[in-house]
Amino acid sequence: MPLVSIITLCVLTAAMALVVGRLVRGPTLADRVVALDVLAAVAIGFIATYVVGTGATALLDAALVLALVAFVATVAFARFVEYRAAPEEVTP
């Protein structure tokens, strides 16, 4: 694996650690959901960097699934917050 890939993986690992800290410490639910979304984005970057470094293209499917699940979770949280703010205005 090239040195650039190794350095990038180390930086992404540090980013994951910082995001997990925010996830645990987040004062509000919105902070925790944003931290989960960022964690998913960093994980996708981690997988992509690993694929570029090793050539294991089978993991690209995992990155795609992770991106789709993260998107759906973010949309679901937005709907939850919208419903919680004004339950009489939201149509199911």
- Output the pLDDT for position 4: 94
- Output the pLDDT for position 86: 64
Separation in Å, CA 29 to CA 25, 62, 80: 10, 27, 11
Q: Name the pLDDT band for 83 (thresholds 50, 70, 90).
A: confident
Please give the torsion angle defined by the CA atoms of residues 6, 10, 16 and 17, in that order, rounded to the nearest 10 degrees. Answer: 160
Q: Where are the domains of the chain?
A: 3-85
Give residue-wise pLDDT tens across range 4-47: 999 999 999 999 999 999 999 989 888 888 999 999 999 999 99
pTM recorded for the entire structure = 0.82
